[in-house]
């Protein structure tokens, strides 16, 4: 395998990891505040649909992105209302949100565009195009460094860079700000935060809204950056993979990036390995590679590779003492 | 900590509140139809006619109902132990493998009534086996069963695609499916029964597996409310700490409950694989495992409730198909929306209307009491 092949595989890993990373960080905020979120998938899907629909009507990728974020926040607030205000079961609420998004996007897609649930093809300003970083063209012919810089680092669309910049930002917010400290505390011991005079519901609502914003961006990436339009069920389990990555990362931002990149890499390799013979092992079934993130997560959850301990108050509605 | 909600009489608790929740879910679904620009009442009319108006419609409704009874029971049994089995989809998929193994091995040699019990046992065993690993991991190693069962759904799907594409499809066939079963691997349809009532079932695939489903309901009733282990399951679900103090092994309860739950989900495969398609195909479960969640929530995890809710969802599936045909702006995805709303309002938001209903009830009972007092004073 030569350098070009490796760079190309890593390049598609980055593209495939981006929506996972955004959704994973989204889940990170929510779950660190004690609200389990199985509904990442649904919010991403809703984001993708409304991004494509708005971008098609307005011709602007930016308005598409805004619509995606708005739609995703609405679903996040439904989840917040059910699990914070109404103290409902967070898992059940997340499942409902996934179905709501799956049904609504296909239903509205069919009612509005009559193309079997998909939106019309988008082009031009309705999509986020590739950005060539400064100096990429000039460095292109320099061996090794130029190739890596031109192919791997430069030439992605805006959302890819946003996703990767969100990692240090998330780390800073969670571990270096007062908001982050309280957010982590409310996921561990909401009673203590309450005693300190900080509103548990308000903190949790903010976390859930941040989660909505990030999943909305992830959805917009799927529909108007990576592809040129929405197709039915286009999130295709990415929300669950992001959830798996979150567990894999043990609810921490930098490992989240690593886990998402790993899962993106597995995806990229499985596409590339289709039908190819691997030395020693022979032909690896594509299905096995596709199932690998899930299998790894189960093995991790079983405690065979480290221990994934979720935030202590996760999944438990907070009832103020009276 | 103070109890978050006041206690209401049983009939309000198990009757009025769930009913209000489900009604609200359907009202919101009606709003969605309005939003799309169609008449909800017209849509309901088409839906009910499509589900129950003619023999073939009823046949399809019963076919879907059968699926949902199995998956609904599977989720319901797990609920009783406080477990949320979201893996019905994968367990049903594996159950299909069990059915296919039985049918492929026996269909040429024995009649269907010999194959059926074997297929039933194998479907339940395969489904249970797929639930065993998440159950073991939850019980022994503390991994969250919701997450592991979700992961197992995806793993099951990959595994089955691999098996069907590379191993089970007949030589020379490009279709990812097994060969078609012979007569010994097919279940009799309900057409004859329909004729007794003077109806024609047409091409509807309703078959005798519906009786297996009803038998499973009876089994679940006895298992949960009439056996020692059923009592232990309910005790664990109501208060795990107290159950441990009472000497109940949570490890045993988790594993037994999930085995039964997975087995019930696996049985669902009898209906589409042996009853309808007569071969194992990719994606034959078609979301029935997830519908089971809505069915169990709506049926309050009781077999009778599950049958009623499964029938309602069966109507939605069949009537929804007719609706999509008559009102092209409303696609079949409307059913998924309704399913989501039922899960939302009957599950996650189940306490939303409780304070209101509680207040209304308190008002009602005080006015009643005042009337009684007033009458007593008069006499």
Tens digit of each residue's pLDDT (9 = 90 or more) over A14-57: 999 999 999 999 999 999 999 999 999 999 999 999 999 999 99
The string of pLDDT tens digits covering residues B66-79 is: 999 999 999 999 99
Of A102, A244, A302, the CB nearest to B143: A302
Q: What is the ipTM of this complex?
A: 0.91
Give the bridge partners for A283, in sequence order. A277
Q: Which of residues 266-305 of B touch A (CB under 8 A)?
A: 290, 293, 297
Test the A interface: residue of B349, B350, B355 with most A CBs within 10 Å: B349
pLDDT band at A277 (very low <50, low <70, confident <90, very high): low
Alpha-carbon distance of B264 to B102, in angstroms, equals: 17
Is B144 in the A-facing interface, judged by CB distances under 8 Å? Answer: yes
Tell me if A18 sits within 8 A of A162, measured CB to CB: no
Test the A interface: residue of B94, B139, B150 with most A CBs within 10 Å: B150
Q: What is the DSSP string of B18-64?
A: HHHHHHHHHHHHHHHHHHHTS-HHHHHHHHHHHHHSSHHHHHHHHHH
pLDDT band at B215 (very low <50, low <70, confident <90, very high): very high
Contact between chains at A110 and B333 (C-beta distance less than 8 A): yes
Q: Is the predicted pLDDT of residue B135 greater than 50, yes or no?
A: yes
Mean pLDDT calculated for residue range A149-161: 86
Pairing of strands A277-278, A282-283: antiparallel
Q: Is the predicted pLDDT of residue B42 greater than 80, yes or no?
A: yes
Q: Is the predicted pLDDT of residue B2 greater than 60, yes or no?
A: no
- The chain-wide mean pLDDT, for chain B, equals 90
pLDDT band at A320 (very low <50, low <70, confident <90, very high): confident
Of B4, B148, B161, the CB nearest to A301: B148
Say what the pTM is.
0.90
Q: Is the predicted pLDDT of residue B376 greater than 80, yes or no?
A: no
Mean pLDDT calculated for residue range A228-239: 90
Of B143, B150, B344, the CB nearest to A82: B344
Q: Is the predicted pLDDT of residue A239 greater than 80, yes or no?
A: yes
Min Cα–Cα distance to chain A from B230, Å: 24
Q: Is the predicted pLDDT of residue A247 greater than 90, yes or no?
A: no
Is B317 in the A-facing interface, judged by CB distances under 8 Å? Answer: no
The string of pLDDT tens digits covering residues A192-204 is: 999 999 999 999 9
Contact between chains at B158 and A38 (C-beta distance less than 8 A): no
SS3 sequence of B134-182: HHHHHHHHCCCHHHHHHHHHHHHHHHHHHHHHHHHCCCCCCCCECCCCC
The string of pLDDT tens digits covering residues A300-319 is: 888 777 677 788 888 888 88
pLDDT band at A165 (very low <50, low <70, confident <90, very high): very high
What pLDDT shows up at residue B5? 59
pLDDT band at B1 (very low <50, low <70, confident <90, very high): very low
Q: Is the predicted pLDDT of residue A65 greater than 90, yes or no?
A: yes
Tell me if B206 sits within 8 A of B189, measured CB to CB: yes
- The chain-wide mean pLDDT, for chain A, equals 89
What pLDDT shows up at residue A282? 66
Contact between chains at B2 and A244 (C-beta distance less than 8 A): no
Among B2, B144, B106, B37, which Cα is nearest to A91's?
A: B144
What pLDDT shows up at residue A322? 62
Is B155 in the A-facing interface, judged by CB distances under 8 Å? Answer: yes
A61-80 helix and A90-113 helix, angle to the nearest 10 degrees: 140
What is the dihedral angle through the alpha carbons of A251, A254, A260, A264, rounded to the nearest 10 degrees? Answer: -170
């Amino acid at each position: 395998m030569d350098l070009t092949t490796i760079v190309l595989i890593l390049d598609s890993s980055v593209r495939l990891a981006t929506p996972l990373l955004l959704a994973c960080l989204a889940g990170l905020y929510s779950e660190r505040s004690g609200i389990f979120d199985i509904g990442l998938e649904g919010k991403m899907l809703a984001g993708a649909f409304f991004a494509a629909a708005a971008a098609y009507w307005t011709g602007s990728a930016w308005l598409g992105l805004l619509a995606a974020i708005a739609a995703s926040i609405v679903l996040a607030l439904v989840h917040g209302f059910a699990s914070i205000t109404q103290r409902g079961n967070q898992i059940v609420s997340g499942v409902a949100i996934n179905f709501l998004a799956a049904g609504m996007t296909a239903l509205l897609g069919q009612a509005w565009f009559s193309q079997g649930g998909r939106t019309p093809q988008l082009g031009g300003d309705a999509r986020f195009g590739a950005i060539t970083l400064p100096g990429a063209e000039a460095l292109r012919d320099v061996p090794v460094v130029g190739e890596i810089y031109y192919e791997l680092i430069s030439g992605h669309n805006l959302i890819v860079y946003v996703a990767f910049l969100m990692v240090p930002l998330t780390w800073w917010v969670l571990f270096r700000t007062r908001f982050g400290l309280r957010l982590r505390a409310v996921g561990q011991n909401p009673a203590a935060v309450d005693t300190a005079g900080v509103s548990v519901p308000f903190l949790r609502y903010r976390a859930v809204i941040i989660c909505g914003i990030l999943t909305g961006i992830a959805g917009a990436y799927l529909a108007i950056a990576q592809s040129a339009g929405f197709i039915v069920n286009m999130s295709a389990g990415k929300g669950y993979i992001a959830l798996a990555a979150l567990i894999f990362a043990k609810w921490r931002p930098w490992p989240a990036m690593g886990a998402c990149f790993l899962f993106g890499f597995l995806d990229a390799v499985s596409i590339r390995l289709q039908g190819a013979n691997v030395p020693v092992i022979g032909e690896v079934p594509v299905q096995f590679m596709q199932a690998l993130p899930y299998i790894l997560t189960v093995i991790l959850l079983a405690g065979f590779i480290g221990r994934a301990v979720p935030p202590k108050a996760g999944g438990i509605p907070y009832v103020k003492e009276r | 900590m103070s109890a978050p909600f006041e206690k209401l009489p049983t009939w309000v608790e198990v009757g009025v509140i769930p009913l209000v929740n489900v009604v609200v879910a359907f009202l919101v679904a009606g709003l969605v139809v309005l939003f799309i620009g169609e008449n909800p009442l017209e849509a309901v009319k088409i839906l009910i006619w499509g589900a129950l108006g003619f023999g073939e419609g009823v046949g399809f409704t019963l076919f879907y109902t059968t699926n949902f009874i199995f998956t609904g029971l599977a989720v319901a049994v797990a609920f009783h132990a406080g477990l949320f089995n979201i893996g019905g989809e994968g367990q049903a998929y594996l159950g299909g493998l069990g059915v296919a193994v039985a049918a492929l091995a026996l269909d040429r040699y024995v009649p269907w009534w010999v194959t059926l019990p074997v297929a039933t046992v194998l479907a339940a065993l395969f489904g249970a086996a797929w639930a065993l690993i998440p159950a073991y991991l939850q019980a022994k190693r503390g991994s969250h069963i919701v997450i592991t069962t979700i992961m197992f759904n995806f793993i099951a799907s990959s595994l089955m695609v691999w098996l069907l594409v590379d191993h089970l499809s007949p030589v020379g066939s490009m279709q990812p499916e097994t060969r078609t079963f012979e007569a010994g691997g097919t279940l009799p349809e309900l057409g004859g029964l329909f004729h007794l009532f003077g109806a024609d079932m047409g091409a509807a695939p309703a078959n005798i597996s519906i009786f297996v489903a009803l038998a499973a309901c009876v089994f679940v009733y006895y298992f949960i409310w009439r056996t020692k282990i059923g009592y232990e399951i309910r005790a664990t679900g109501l208060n795990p700490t107290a159950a441990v103090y009472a000497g109940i092994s949570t490890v045993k309860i988790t594993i037994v409950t999930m085995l039964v739950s997975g087995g019930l989900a696996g049985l669902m495969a009898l209906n589409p694989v042996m009853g309808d398609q007569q071969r194992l195909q990719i994606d034959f479960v078609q979301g029935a495992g997830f519908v089971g969640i809505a069915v169990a929530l709506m049926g309050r995890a009781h077999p009778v409730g599950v049958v009623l809710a499964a029938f309602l969802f069966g109507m939605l599936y069949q009537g929804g198909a007719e609706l999509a045909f008559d009102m092209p702006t409303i696609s079949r995805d409307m059913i998924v929306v309704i399913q989501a709303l039922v899960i939302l309002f009957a599950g996650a938001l189940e306490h939303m209307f409780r304070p209101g209903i509680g207040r209304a009830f308190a008002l009602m009972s005080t006015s009643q009491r005042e009337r009684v007092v007033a009458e007593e004073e008069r006499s």
